[in-house]
Amino acid sequence: MARSRSAREPVPTLKGRLRGRHGESLASRLPVLRTALEQQRHFRREQLAQLDGHCGTHEQPAPAVASGGEDRETMLALREVDALVAAGAHRALADIEMALSRMRTGRYGYCRSCEGAIPLVVLEAIPKTTLCLTCQ
């Protein structure tokens, strides 16, 4: 387990961090991982735009539907589902943005908690991860 970095120690740059076997492997995979993250970001932004447009369709039930309690419950349930999906999409988008930011600052591939290396196989499976398996 890696030790925590003290406040006085400088954070290594990307060039300084990408040493050794993990760093070399990570450096060679960064373009692919960045592309995957950018695609995920695009998907989440589109998903949120669709949800924003879709939420308005659940606001007011049609007049013929408004009298039925069952239809009102259906509309409320649909709004709740939309809200949950939107919340998850917002969290995923925030994670993606954090991972891309860590790429820009040279911290990608290293745990934001313990600074230990995140295995490349984990990054390839979940490119937005910023925590090692132990810290998750």
pLDDT, tens only, 46-67: 999 998 886 655 555 444 445 5
Q: What is the pLDDT at residue 25?
A: 86
Domain boundaries, the chain: 20-125
Q: Own/partner pairs for 88-91, CB < 8 Å, 24+ apart?
A: 89/44, 89/47, 89/48, 89/51, 90/48
Mean pLDDT per block of 10 residues along the chain (136 residues) reads: 46 47 82 97 96 65 54 91 95 97 95 94 95 93
| pTM: predicted TM-score of the whole model, two decimal places | 0.71
CATH fold for the domain made of 20-125: Four Helix Bundle (Hemerythrin (Met), subunit A) (1.20.120)
130: number of CA atoms within 13 Å, CB side? 17
> What is the 8-class DSSP label of residue 112?
T
Q: What is the pLDDT at residue 55?
A: 62
31: number of CA atoms within 13 Å, CB side? 1
